[in-house]
Structure 1
Amino acid sequence: ERDLKFTQALWETSEYNENATNVVQPEFAHIALRPEDSWMANSNADRSIYRYFQWLVQEILVKHGGFDEFSDHLGEPFGIQVLPSDKKDVQYPGMSIDADEGTYDGNAEVIENLLDQAAVATEDLESYVELFHGDLATKECIEGLKRMRTIERTARNRLSFLQFVPGLFHMKMAVADAYARVHVTPVANRTEKLGVNEYLNYLRPKATAEFTSKKGPSFRSMHDTIHHVTWTDILASGAIEAQQLFKFDSLAAFKESKPKWTQLVELSEAIINNHLPGID
């Protein structure tokens, strides 16, 4: 309950509030307002983003680098505020709504209708945020509605209680699209040394025509390519670090030496520290 009680704090830092003294973009509002709750805040914590990347690198080494014997050591990635397995969630399906979600007015109608169906009190919205899911077009409409309602006095009318949370699939679509715009679409980047096209020539030669076509690659092709390029870079980085740490010429030679799990962990840490940007 405490985690959702920050509607007022959101409004005080909102870009739509002309009296705001310290504007925080909505995507980072929770981290800025409650930094002690952020799993990304402490790079040394067991559940930090560093530890997640460490698990991811280890997974790539185990599943794609030939270290299958360590599958049992790998385990599962950690969860954030995982619900207990013995707790049953209660869901209340909403009634269908006759509204055009392609318009601002239609989205406003949907929001009001859902609040009415859930019997959410207007005064509660002054304190508690409501998490709202949808695609990026829905987010654009919600932000547009907020811009139109900055002079309203209540959180309900301003929609300042709404905290938009994109669905994982839509987030992956946005990331894949951003990757394509930077690394695939620009013609000049197609001859880049160790660029995506060079990787494609070796990893997926039959897909080269799709990536250089006017239409561009499908989401699935783009998604698979991102995975394949990432695996390749991690394994190449692993070969470099295996030579630096253990004096082996390749990952295959390192594997033949029958390393211990602790050595593979050491290798993953070296890959993160020396080859991944943005990790302190």
Structure 2
Amino acid sequence: MTYRRTQKGVAILSILANSSSQRCNAFQAIQGFFLDSTNTPRRVIEVLSRGGWSLSAESICHMVQSVTESLKASLKKLSDPGLYAMAYDNLDFDFKTKEPGDQNQGTFSSITTATFIPLTYGTTLDDLRYSKELWEKSSLNPDNPKDSRPPATPDRQYLFERIQERQDSVLQGMEWFTQKIIVDNYLGQYKGELGKMPSSFTLDVPEKTVQYPARAMHLKASVNDDNIAIVKSLEQQAGTSPEWYHSFIRLCHGDLGMQERHDATTESRAIESTPQERLQFLVTIPGGFHIRMACVDAIW
């Protein structure tokens, strides 16, 4: 009850502040974005703007255009050095009908949302200069020499030895995490003595991750051809030059389905003449959650 009263108080004060000065419009701008995203009729928006609850429909349009232009400028800065990764996933909508029947159960639609992730921690173009080398050693390359095939998969003994080498670090990490749960929930006075999680890889100066959302695409990530179109659309939005693909790779994050689709498309497009068309620059990276799912599936 107290929380709801606080919300109402903030809304009333925001409306009063906006009536005194048009520049005090943070609350109205947020409401305007929400109304525009839900396709609220223009007449309803105008009524709410008269009452001080939202911006006018014209102001919302200008605001969206301003944000779009600002995003385009940010993407242009990313594309000049090309130090960014991509990530995308499908977004499904299931529209139910009011009275479903045998012939009309509703409609299902799928779009793809994506984001651009700048590469930080001192990443340079030299760290990405592997497109040509990967293609020369790729098994899909028709001109690939027989002695440049990729190395064989490590045997089981090698994997066990590597796991044993890291066992102590894993146990120390588990112990620290257990202690953290106890301290955070019951023994807050010992928080200063907990220290950092033990790890063989530490970052001296953590950097905040910034993302730039891409334009949504009416494409299905579950279709091979659409996966190609998704990558091309993202590269076009960023404004990457065709020469860039000859030397550098692009990291692309997604789920296991994305990995399978691109494995199939790169195999079928290996006969193309340009690095951009055969997608030799694309290095797919499944998410950690999906990798764990695959591991569990392999065990069972």
TM-score by length of structure 2 reads 0.46
> Which structure is higher in strand share?
2
TM-score by length of structure 1 reads 0.49
> Which structure is higher in helix share?
1
